[in-house]
Structure 1
Amino acid sequence: MAFVYEQTLDIAAPAAVVWEVITDLPRYGEWNPFVSSCASTLRPGDPIDMTVHLMKRPQQQREWISEYHEGRGFAYRMKPVPGGALSSARWHDITPVDDGHCRYRSHFELRGWLMPVVRGLLGARLRGGFAGMNGGVKERAESLWAQRNPR
């Protein structure tokens, strides 16, 4: 059993613009209410260091890039807690719809025997954080696209 949060958004911007938003890690603080700073090479095996706003005070978090597909998505995982106590995985996926639209899928899952405790303590905050981040991706991409393509 896993705690899963997944959201799919239709975005009125090309896939390339959404890719730009989610991979421009130094700019996360400009639009992302959940992860205010982020740094990584995005190469599989390398770390991704984030400042996450889950508790009253921001927390530093290090996870590890597990997948990278240029223009389509990337994924990262926490280092599993020994004994199968806890592990997490996070995906960002982008699917082009047409020249000016795409679909963005955000997926997070938490597994392990400690998962029910973490879900009970932080489940609502995790859902709210990811929803805020996903909304930020959409708003940022659509704003950039509108600035570049005024009608």
Structure 2
Amino acid sequence: MQLEWMKTAKSLAEDPVEGYDPDAVTVSEVFEIAAPARVVWSILTDLENYSAWNPFCIRAEGKIELGHAVVMTLINYAVPGTLFPNCEFISSIVPERQISWDLPNDPAWPYPARRDQIIEPTGEASCRYFSTDAFLGTNGIHVFRFAGPWVKRAFDDTGRALKARAEMLYAQEQKA
């Protein structure tokens, strides 16, 4: 299940600031969705409506264009009952297949990461979805050990909600 960018990413030895460590990656469950990839894609790229379905990212603003910021309000799974702001930048767009955003390294927050959301068509009216979060650089393994379990839970919750939303919207589309 290794993503293409991971195959070509610089290793920690080559780039200790933003290098890739395969031991510092969180992977969600894989969700089989009874809806076409285009329906799932339309939900993932409709940032304005994340609050209608996403239990982890309750607000998202931005443009789905390479390099553009996505400003999010996230549920803090590490401290229940709290929220936290997050800003990441669109780094990959493959329509109906993949959307990715990066948290770049910053001296004030030296914890770079990359999130990939993958859609794999499995038929005309079905697809598979999963997401990953690669915690990068020499701090990545420490962030993974702290945040990996709750990030996985958040991604699994998001995947379940995405599946339910996509299947509901596709069923409504079929009735129309």
Q: With structure 2 as the length reference, what TM-score do the two structures score?
A: 0.77
Where structure 2 has 5 or more consecutive residues not aligned to the other structure, the ranges are 1-20
Q: How many residues were matched structurally?
A: 150
Q: Select between 109-118 and 48-57 the one with higher mean Cα deviation.
A: 109-118
CA apart distance, 1:119: 3.0
Give the SS at the match of 1:60: strand
Percent of residue pairs identical:
29
Question: 1:117/1:6 Cα in 2 relative to 1: closer, same or farther (>3 Å)?
Answer: closer
Where structure 1 has 5 or more consecutive residues not aligned to the other structure, the ranges are none
Give the SS at the match of 1:42: coil
Work out which of the residue numbers 15, 27, 47 in structure 2 matches 1:6: 27
What CA RMSD, in Å, does the superposition of the two structures yield over aligned residues? Answer: 2.0
Q: How does 1:63-142 map to 2 (within 5 A)?
A: 63-82=88-107, 85-142=110-167
Q: With structure 1 as the length reference, what TM-score do the two structures score?
A: 0.89
1:72-117 Cα distance to aligned partner (Å, 9 max, x none): 22111002134xx421001112222211101113121112222343
2:77 matched to 1:52?
A: no
Residue type of the alignment partner of 1:89: R
Rounded to whole Å, the distance in 1 between the matches of 2:100 and 2:40 is 15
1:19-73 Cα distance to aligned partner (Å, 9 max, x none): 1111111111111110000112111111011001123421111111111122222
Runs of 4+ in structure 1 off by over 4 angstroms are none
